[in-house]
Amino acid sequence: MYTSFMKKRSLRAARTAVAAIAAVSVALLCIIVAERVLSERTEPPAPPADAPYLNPDLPINVRVNDLLSYMTLEEKAGQMALVDKNSVHDDRDLATYGIGALLSGAGAKPSGDDTAMSWRDMVARFTDASRESRLKIPVLYGVDAAHGHANVPGATVFPHEIGLGAAGDPKLVRAVARATAAEMSATGIYWNFAPDLDQPRDIRWGRTYEAFSDDPELVSLLGAAYVRGLEEPVLGGASSTVNVLATAKHFVGVGSMAWGSSSNRDFKIDQGTTPPDEDALETEYLPAFREAVAAGVSSVMVGLNSWGDTKLAADRHLITDVLKGDLGFDGFVVSDWYGVYEIPGNDYSSAVTAINAGVDMVMLPFDYEPFVRNVVRAVEDGDIPEARIDDAVRRVLRAKFALGLFDGRTPGDGSVVGSKSNRALAREAVARSLVLLKNDRDTLPLRNVETIRVAGSAADNIGRQAGAWTVEWQGIDGNWLPGATSILEGIRERAGANVTVAYDKNGDFPTGDRADVGIAVVGEAPYAEGWGDNARPSLTNDDRAAIAKLRASCDEVVVIIVSGRPLLISDELSSWDALVAAWLPGSEGEGVADVLFGDEPFSGVLPVPWPDHEAQFSIAVDGSTADHTAVLFPRYFGLH
């Protein structure tokens, strides 16, 4: 018994000893593993000094794979973050978090002077800060150079896309995009959130002017030309270097949202719901993206709209199966401003959903630290496969290599910003974008005219003719833009010494004598996005009054509408002799005078149908209206 007791004791002691040894071993093992993990975290694989990714002669895919092999999960997550530059707390964060990209959203400009050179200095400062990181990965900088590098005072401001749609010439669009890219790269910015491939089916939408047209064919043609113009290598540069990354946006069905469906309570239609329609997807919404992909577009931005109940940034079928799969898009997918966090759920689950859906870079645009933490946690917890992260980062890095960012690319010649030749191109684009809608008495072009009276809210207002996305997100309603020419100035210059040009915004001219011609330049004040959603786009009472006064004091009246979309004018049209749609022409007002005086012909046509009355606001792609009545002017109408 004693023996058996002793045996049991010694057995227990032996067991205890074994258990103790095992526990110690496990603990030791844990410590070793933990140390390893920690050392892996704190001392990730260091690249050799001659790492292949630093060698510009190697193919991009080799460089990307090499770089990826040194990257920690945190570093990968950082590359997926797109941050508004005003949200960077400290420049050193660029290296600490390995932030992939920055943007100037909503008029975010350099502090201090706002000139092309201060933009260049600001971007250089951020780039240098990003290169302080372990792997020296340069940050990418993006802007909305939607109609020229128009964030920058002094840059050439081209007509907004709707005007280029009226001109309808892919060669012109490509040249405009090339000039825009040159002005951007002069400031060290190589990523443009353009072209816009939306198709506005309802002119009440505040982004109608950002699109070329509502016709999928025209949008496809001009969108691809724009992509080529931005991305084509600079003359004399390496043939493989992409000049400026283009962004085909907004994927997909944007422009077909229903009125009243917006998820943003301040808006009506912008950020609304696109009724899911597989036929329309195939025949109307996808073709322009297909063409952009064929033209080699580097990035695609998913919209803030929903496809039925699903926010686009959460739509795995559309992003991964359709865009990356069927269309074969191999660039990177970026989400739109805060769009990922509009996905129902919390910050963690929204990011997980978007990344799993196929978003490669998240326009956060604010809090990068929790984003990086969430992505790391999601991979560690198995909510996002690491292969998905690697795929996303590969796509982003490919674009950075293609731009030559790792190879010491330096900004282009600063004198190109607002240069004479770019302004001449913009002036030509303005002339070609004008659409003559009425000319009953052959009032235009102006010939044998001795006296002209000019009136209207947009005659001497460069901010109105430039529209939004010019220096400020919502534009500037006023006469400020260095180097620009107003429509009035253009008319004065061209009219010359033998023609008397008088101007009064309200049309208050001395009574008693009459002028040969009155020119009313009327239209809309600038607006961007949902702030421009408007239940009844039409002329203001002030502009109507100015036209009426010209009517009373001039033999003939020409109305020029400066606007981002057609306006309701059916009740007034009969009292005007001539009508011109000038869209949002930008900085070169002389382009309008060139056509008014017959130096250039009227050649533009309507890129969208012009409704006659309210029931026609929403017009189907085949031109049919809800009430089956004829529009005022059909798409592609224009007198020549």
Query: Least distance from C-beta 347 to ligand BGC, angstroms?
Result: 19
* Residue nearest ligand BGC, Cβ-based: 193
Give the residue among 233, 106, 127, 101 at the shortest CA–CA distance from 188.
127
Calculated CA dihedral for residues 25, 27, 29, 35, nearest 10 degrees: -150
Residue 312 CB, shortest distance to ligand BGC, in Å, is 11
Closest approach of Cβ 336 to ligand BGC, in Å? 5
Closer CB to ligand BGC, 135 or 364, in the complex: 364
Q: State the pairing for strand pair 435-439/578-581.
A: antiparallel
- Residue number with CB closer to ligand BGC (311 or 432): 311
Nearer to ligand BGC, 342 or 588 (CB): 342
Q: Are 153 and 470 in contact (CB under 8 A)?
A: no
Tell me which residues touch ligand BGC (CB under 6 A): 103, 105, 144, 193, 249, 304, 336-337, 529
**Complex with ligand BGC: residue 528 or 547, whichever CB lies closer:** 528
Of 193 and 583, CB closest to ligand BGC? 193
Whether 529 sits among the annotated catalytic residues: the reply is yes
Cβ–Cβ < 8 Å for 292, 227: yes
* Sign of the dihedral through C-alpha 171, 172, 173, 175: positive
Give the single-character DSSP code of 282: I
Q: What is the dihedral of CA 128, 132, 136, 139, to 10 degrees?
A: -50
Token couple for 462: 């460069």
Long-range contacts of 93-97 (CB under 8 A, 24+ apart): 93/368, 93/369, 94/126, 94/129, 94/130, 94/132, 94/133, 94/139, 95/129, 95/130, 95/131, 95/132, 95/133, 95/134, 96/133, 97/368, 97/369, 97/372
Q: What is the enclosing helix (H) or strand (E) of 502?
A: strand 500-503
Helix 368-380 vs helix 386-402: crossing angle, to nearest 10: 130
Q: Active site includes 477?
A: no
3-state secondary structure of 228: helix
**Kind and range of the H or E run holding 363:** strand 362-363
Q: Distance (Å, rounded) from C-alpha 100 to C-alpha 82?
A: 6
CB of 562 to ligand BGC, least distance (A): 22
CB of 254 to ligand BGC, least distance (A): 9
Give the C-alpha separation, 590 to 603, whole Å: 16
Please, what is the minimum distance in Å from the beta carbon of residue 192 to ligand BGC? 9
Nearer to ligand BGC, 144 or 543 (CB): 144
Amino acid of residue 257? M
Work out how close the CB of 103 gets to ligand BGC at its nearest, in angstroms, rounded to a whole number. 6
Q: Which is nearer to ligand BGC, 142 or 445 (CB)?
A: 142
Q: Nearer Cβ to ligand BGC, position 181 or 595?
A: 181
Count of other CB atoms within 10 angstroms of residue 21: 10
Alpha-carbon dihedral 106, 110, 113, 114, rounded to 10 degrees: -40
Report which residue type is found at 106.
Answer: A
Q: Tell me the closest approach of the beta carbon of residue 142 to ligand BGC, in angstroms.
A: 8
Q: Which of 270, 291, 336, 612 is catalytic?
A: 336
Residues designated as active site = 336, 529
